[in-house]
Amino acid sequence: MARLIRTEKEVEGRFEEVWLVVEEDPLQQWPEGPLSVVGRPAVRQDGPQRVRGEARFTADVQLPGMLHTAILRSPHAHARVKRIDLSPALALPGVRAALGPGEAQGLADEAGFAGEPVAAVAAETYGQARAALRAIDVEWEVLEVVLDPQEAVERGLLTGEPTRYERGDFERALAEAEVVVESTYRTSVVLHNSLETHQAVCQWIGDTLEVHISTQYIWGVRDALAEKLGIPGDKVRVVCEYMGGGFGAKNDPGEYTFVAAELAKRTGRPVRCALTRREENVGAGNRNATIQKLTVGARSDGTLVALGGEFVNAIGWSGWSAPTDGPMQTLYACDNVRTVRYGAKINTPPMKAFRAPGYVEGTFGLECLLDELAAKLELDPLELRRRNHADSNDGKPYSSKNLLACYELAQKHWDRRADVRARSGTTWKHGVGMASQIWFGGGGPPSYAWTRVTSDGRVTVVTAMQDIGTGTRTAMAQIAAEELGVPLERVQVVLGDTARGPYATLSAGSSTTPSIGPAVRAAAADVKRQLIEIAAQRHHLEERVLDIRDGIVVSADGNLSQPLEELVGLLEDAQILGKGGRGPNPTGMSVLTFGIQVVEVAVDVETGEVRVERVAAAHDVGRIVNPLGARSQVEGGIVQGIGHTLSEQRLLDPETGRVLTSTLDAYRMPTIADLPEIVCEFVDRPDEHLTNLGAKGLGEPPIVPTAAAIANAIRDATGADVHELPISREELLRALREAQERAREGAKEHVGAR
Amino acid sequence: MPELELTVNGEIHSVDAPTGISLAELLREELGFTGTKIACNEGHCGACTVQVDGVPTLSCITLAHSVRGAVTTIEGLRDHPLVDAFVRADAVQCGFCTPGQVVSAAALVAASPEPTVEEIRHHMAGNICRCGTYPRIEEAILNWRG
C-alpha cells in the first residue's frame, strides 16, 4: 500500500521538507563486504563508447537545418541597456533571428557583470552569428561597480539576510580559553571548466520542445523550461545520455537553453547554443571567493572550547550563499560555536555550485586554523582531531560515522612524518599534513526505477537519471544484477531521457548512487519476486525455497537448477516488469560523509615552488558499490583539489571587472605532469540506517580536505602559515618571511624570559 | 569553395570546404568524425588531438587546407589495444577528453612501446582531463598491451 509521509530532503547542504509516497515492506540491507557483484570492481559499461569516441555528447548533436547561436555579452561590469537595435544584425548574411533583452530568460537589460548575456543571434553558421554580434547597436548606461566583497558587506549589498548560528556561549568560552588562535583565510574563485562547455540544442516538434543538453539534471531542465515557457512538463523532452563534465555548474538550464528554445520557436529550425571556452570561463559560474575570519579557543590539552567565524562569500551578481560555515559547526565537538555568513552581491561573474560548495572553502580555513592551534600547543595535529571527535551532530545522532576508523586507516601514512621530514635539505623542505573531511552525500527521495526482464533472460533497468561521468550507470547495473542474481553483463541501463523513464534526482550533491541506487534495488526486487512466483508455479515448488543465483533459478534442496532464460523463455514476447522507489532518509538523524587526507609535500623555500608528492585518502561513505569507480572519484577529486590549491587562479581586472584568465593557458588546471602518488582507502561499512543499500555518495567528499592538507603539509615542512588559496609563490614567500620573523621574535622573547 | 583532398583513417575524402576551416571542424562537421572533440578551440587542452602521419596534432588550430599528410582520428584507432587498456584501468570519467588522450597515447606507444612513467607524463601533459583521471591514464598506458 502506498503511504504518504513528510520527510526531509537535502541537496548540497540545503534542506527542505517534501511530501513522499513510500511503499511498505522495505528490503533488508545486504551484509557488509563484497557480494557477488556489488562491492567488486566493475569496468564501466559505457567505457568502450566513451573511449572510442562513439558516445554522442550534446556537442556532437547535428540536426538537419540546425542554426548556430552567438551571444552578445556586456562589456561593462554593471550597465543598463538604454537602447538596442538588432536590425543591422538581422540584415547580415545567414542571420535568421535575433533576441534582445527580455526576449528569453537570461537576456538581461541590466548587466551585473562583464560578460552577462544581453542579446543573441541565430545564423546558418556560428561564424555568421558571431559576425552579426558586432552589428548590434547598443547604447549603455554605465552604472556603479562594486568588486570588493568586504565593501559590499559594509554597504549592505547582500544576496540575502546574513546567516547567523550560535550554540553555547562563545564570548564567555573564548574569554576562559587557555589558548586562542585568530587567523583570516581567503579562497579564490575556481572555475569548473568542464571540457564540454555549457550547451543545448533545441527543436520544436509540434507543440513539444526537444532539448539535447549537457546537464546534471534532465528533470530540472524540463521543469524549469516548462515553467518559464508556460507549457506542461510533458511537452518538454530533455535528453542527455553522455555529458562532458559538470562539477555542479550544470544543474539548471541556463540562458543558452532558453535562448536556443526561443530562437528555435521563431525560426522553426533546430538551434544550437554552445558557449565557447572563453565564455565558459566568464559566464558559466564559479566557486566563489571567500574571506574567513576565524577564531579558536582551546584548553592546553587541546580541547576546543570556542569556535567563531565570520564568513564572507563573494557571490558575484547571482548565485547562492553556500555553507562555508558548515565545517566549523559540525566537524568537531565544541560546545560554544558562533558563526555569521554574508553573501556579498558584487559585479563579478555568477556563483554556481562547485563540488562540495562551501565545505571546500570552509574546510580550508578551519583545518588550517586547527593546525595553527596544534603548532601553538605543540600537539600532534591528528591527536588534536581525535581529542575533539564529535559523537553527535549537535545532539542529533549520525546515521553512521566512521571518522575514527578513517583516522586509523590513515595512521600508517601519518607515521611517515619523520622519514619524510628527514629528506629535507637546505632548499627543498619536506613535510606531512592532514585534514579531516565532513560533507553531506546521503541523497534522498524521490527517485524511481523500472526493471524489465525479457524472455531471453536479459534485464533492462530504466531510470531517467544521468551519468555525468562518475560511473553511476555501471553502479546501477551492479545493484540490479546483485539483487536479481544475474551476471552483470546481462543488465543494461537506459537513462538520460525524461520521455523514457521515471523521475530520478539530479547528479549533484553526491546524491546519484544513494538516491537512485535504492530505487533500482527495489525495482529489481520487485521483478525478482515475480520471477520466483513464476518459477514456483512452473515447478510446483514453494516460493520460499527458490532463489536466483548467477542467472540460474535454484531450489534450496539443489534439485532445481534452471537457467533463467529457460524459465522465462516459454513466455516469448511477454515481459516481466518491476518498479521501485527511493524511501525516506532516517528521521532525526544526520546523514553525512567523513574522511581524512594525508599529504606529503616538498617546498623550495627559495622560490616558493610547492610539489605535492603523495596524497593518502581514507573516506567513509558507507557501502562501496564499485571499488574501481570509487577510486577514480577519489583520485579525480584530489587532482582537482591540487589545482585550486596550487595553480588555478581566475584573475579580474580590478578596474573594469573583466575576466583576464579566460583561456586554458591562463587558467592553469593540473596536467598529468602534476600528479602525485595517490593512495585511496575506504572504511566500506554500510550505513545501517540509510536505505536498503547503506551507500552514500562519493563525488564530492574527496575534494573537501585536499587544500587544507596541502597547506598543513607546507607548515610542517617550513613553519609557514599560508592563509590564501591558491598558494601562489607570493603567498608562500610571504608566509615564509612571516614565519622567520615569528621565529626571531620567539627567540628574543625566550631570551627575555630568561 | 576550394576542393580539398584528405586521407582520413586510410580513406581518401574529397570535400568542398571553405578556406580557413580548421581540421577539427572539417572532421566533425563535414566528414562526421565526431570522436574528435573540440573543448577549447585554441590549442590549449588536447581534446582535438589527431595524428598527421603519426604525429599528434591539435586539429582545432590546424588549417584543413594546410594538411599534407594522412590523418588518423580516434575512429581509426578503435581497435587499438589502448582502448581496452583505458577501459580496464578506468581511465575515463566523462569521456570528453578521452579520444584525444588515446590518440596522443597511441603516438607515444608507437614511438616507445614500453614507455616509462616520465615519458608518459612528458608526452601526455598536453591533454587536459578535468575529471582528473591521470592516475588511471598512466596505468592504462603502462599496461597498454594487456
Kind and range of the H or E element at A327?
A: helix A326-330
What is the distance in angstroms between the Cα of B22 and the nearest Cα belonging to chain A? 13
Q: A111 to each of A83, A104, A199, A317, A519, how far by Cα in Å?
A: 13, 14, 21, 9, 43
DSSP B49-115: EEEETTEEEEGGGSBGGG--S-EE-GGGGTTSHHHHHHHHHT--SS-SSHHHHHHHHHHHHHH-SS-
Interface membership of B39 toward A (CB under 8 Å): yes
Interface membership of B124 toward A (CB under 8 Å): yes
Interface membership of A64 toward B (CB under 8 Å): no
Kind and range of the H or E element at A220?
A: helix A218-229
> Is the Cβ–Cβ distance between A273 and A212 less than 8 Å?
no
pLDDT, tens digit, 9 for 90 and up, residues A278-302: 999 999 999 999 999 999 999 999 9
Percentages of chain A per state (helix, strand, coil), in multiples of 5: 30, 30, 40
Interface membership of A346 toward B (CB under 8 Å): no
Interface membership of A242 toward B (CB under 8 Å): yes
User: In chain B, which residues have their Cβ closer than 8 Å to the Cβ of A194?
Assistant: 94, 96, 130
> Is the Cβ–Cβ distance between B23 and B64 less than 8 Å?
yes
Helix (H/G/I), strand (E/B), else coil: A187:
strand
DSSP A512-552: HHHHHHHHHHHHHHHHHHHHHHHHHHHHT--GGGEEEETTE
Interface membership of A57 toward B (CB under 8 Å): yes
- Please, how many CA atoms are within 13 Å of residue A27, restricted to the half-sphere of its CB? 24
What is the distance in angstroms between the Cα of A668 and the nearest Cα belonging to chain B? 10
**Overall size of chain B counted in residues:** 146
pLDDT value for A15: 86
Residues 79-108 of B with CB under 8 A from A: 83, 86-88, 90-99, 102
Once rounded to an integer, what is the mean pLDDT over residues A711-718? 98
pLDDT, tens digit, 9 for 90 and up, residues A367-393: 999 999 999 999 999 999 999 999 999
pLDDT, tens digit, 9 for 90 and up, residues A529-554: 999 999 999 999 999 999 999 999 99
> What are the cell numbers at A753?
624570559
User: In chain B, which residues have their Cβ closer than 8 Å to the Cβ of A471?
Assistant: 90, 93
Q: Please name the residue of chain A whose CA is at the shortest distance from the CA of residue B40.
A: A277
Rg (chain A; Cα; Å): 28
> What are the cell numbers at A55?
558516445
What residue type is A753 in one-letter code? A
**Contact state of A44 with B92 under an 8 Å Cβ cutoff:** yes
**Overall size of chain A counted in residues:** 754
pLDDT value for A16: 86
Once rounded to an integer, what is the mean pLDDT over residues A680-702? 97
Question: Could you say which of B94, B128, B136 has the minimum Cβ distance to residue A244?
Answer: B94
Tell me whether 0.90 is exceeded by the ipTM. Answer: yes
**Contact state of A57 with B35 under an 8 Å Cβ cutoff:** no
The torsion angles phi and psi of A336, rounded to 5 degrees, stand at -125, 105
HEC string of B50-69? EEECCEEEEHHHCEHHHCCC
Once rounded to an integer, what is the mean pLDDT over residues B33-47? 98
pLDDT, tens digit, 9 for 90 and up, residues A344-363: 999 999 999 999 999 999 99
pLDDT value for A750: 65
DSSP A240-257: -SB-S--TTTTSS-HHHH
> Is the Cβ–Cβ distance between A308 and A184 less than 8 Å?
no
Once rounded to an integer, what is the mean pLDDT over residues A497-523? 97
Q: Please name the residue of chain B whose CA is at the shortest distance from the CA of residue A278.
A: B40
- Residue B1 pLDDT class (50, 70, 90 cuts): low
**Contact state of A53 with B75 under an 8 Å Cβ cutoff:** yes
> What are the cell numbers at A422?
628527514
pLDDT value for A13: 82
Calculate what percentage of chain A has a pLDDT beyond 70: 99
Q: CA-to-CA distance for B13 and B75, rounded, in angstroms?
A: 15
User: In chain B, which residues have their Cβ closer than 8 Å to the Cβ of A53?
Assistant: 34-37, 73-75, 78, 98-99
pLDDT, tens digit, 9 for 90 and up, residues A79-128: 999 999 999 999 999 999 999 999 999 999 999 999 999 999 999 999 99
Is residue A26 predicted with pLDDT exceeding 90? Answer: no
Which of A729, A710, A734, A735 is closest to A643 using CA atoms? A710
Residues 705-744 of A with CB under 8 A from B: none
pLDDT value for A2: 78
> Is the Cβ–Cβ distance between A305 and A299 less than 8 Å?
yes
Mean pLDDT of chain A: 96
> What are the cell numbers at A619?
573516506
pLDDT, tens digit, 9 for 90 and up, residues A300-330: 999 999 999 999 999 999 999 999 999 999 9
Is residue A754 predicted with pLDDT exceeding 60? Answer: no
Once rounded to an integer, what is the mean pLDDT over residues A616-625? 98
- Residue A7 pLDDT class (50, 70, 90 cuts): confident
Once rounded to an integer, what is the mean pLDDT over residues A642-648? 98
Once rounded to an integer, what is the mean pLDDT over residues A206-224? 98
Interface membership of A672 toward B (CB under 8 Å): yes
Interface membership of A214 toward B (CB under 8 Å): no
**Contact state of B133 with A636 under an 8 Å Cβ cutoff:** yes
Interface membership of A676 toward B (CB under 8 Å): no
Q: CA-to-CA distance for B75 and A53, rounded, in angstroms?
A: 7
What is the distance in angstroms between the Cα of A715 and the nearest Cα belonging to chain B? 26
pLDDT value for A14: 84
**Contact state of B83 with A672 under an 8 Å Cβ cutoff:** no
**Contact state of B88 with A44 under an 8 Å Cβ cutoff:** no
> Is the Cβ–Cβ distance between A277 and A664 less than 8 Å?
yes
**Contact state of A44 with B90 under an 8 Å Cβ cutoff:** yes
Mutate to test the interface with A, among B134, B136, B141, B144 (most CBs of A within 10 A): B134
Q: Please name the residue of chain B whose CA is at the shortest distance from the CA of residue A50.
A: B95
- Residue A59 pLDDT class (50, 70, 90 cuts): very high
pLDDT value for A494: 98
pLDDT, tens digit, 9 for 90 and up, residues A362-371: 999 999 999 9
What is the distance in angstroms between the Cα of B5 and the nearest Cα belonging to chain A? 23
Strands across the sheet with A561-563, in order?
A546-549, A552-555, A561-563
With cell 602521419, the residue in question is B53
Q: Please name the residue of chain A whose CA is at the shortest distance from the CA of residue B101.
A: A51
Interface membership of B142 toward A (CB under 8 Å): no
Interface membership of A401 toward B (CB under 8 Å): no
pTM over 0.80: yes
Q: Please name the residue of chain A whose CA is at the shortest distance from the CA of residue B39.
A: A195
What is the distance in angstroms between the Cα of A333 and the nearest Cα belonging to chain B? 34
Question: Could you say which of B98, B131, B138 has the minimum Cβ distance to residue A672?
Answer: B138
Interface membership of B75 toward A (CB under 8 Å): yes
Q: CA-to-CA distance for A286 and A354, rounded, in angstroms?
A: 7
A737 contact partners, CB below 8 Å, separation of at least 6:
none
Interface membership of B116 toward A (CB under 8 Å): no
Label residue A389 left, alpha or beta by phi (over 0 means left) and psi (-120 to 50 means alpha).
beta
What residue type is A595 in one-letter code? G
Taking CB atoms within 8 Å and a gap of at least 24, the contacts of A154-160 are A157/A344, A157/A345, A157/A346, A158/A342, A158/A343, A158/A344, A158/A345, A159/A315, A159/A319, A159/A320, A159/A321, A159/A343, A159/A344, A159/A345, A160/A321, A160/A343
Once rounded to an integer, what is the mean pLDDT over residues A702-708? 98
- Please, how many CA atoms are within 13 Å of residue A344, restricted to the half-sphere of its CB? 24
Helix (H/G/I), strand (E/B), else coil: A678:
strand
Strands across the sheet with B3-8, in order?
B11-16, B3-8, B71-72, B49-52, B55-58
Q: CA-to-CA distance for A122 and A263, rounded, in angstroms?
A: 7
pLDDT value for A244: 98
Query: Count of CB contacts below 8 A, A vs B?
Result: 164
Mutate to test the interface with B, among A45, A46, A52 (most CBs of B within 10 A): A52
User: In chain B, which residues have their Cβ closer than 8 Å to the Cβ of A50?
Assistant: 92, 94-95, 98
Q: CA-to-CA distance for A217 and A58, rounded, in angstroms?
A: 14
Q: Please tell me whether the peptide bond between B81 and the residue prior to it is cis, using omega within 30 degrees of 0.
A: no
User: In chain A, which residues have their Cβ closer than 8 Å to the Cβ of B87?
Assistant: 43-44, 47-48, 51
Q: Please name the residue of chain A whose CA is at the shortest distance from the CA of residue B131.
A: A636
With cell 544550437, the residue in question is A272
Interface membership of B48 toward A (CB under 8 Å): no
**Contact state of B120 with A469 under an 8 Å Cβ cutoff:** no
Which of A282, A278, A266, A283 is closest to A67 using CA atoms? A266
What is the distance in angstroms between the Cα of A677 and the nearest Cα belonging to chain B? 8
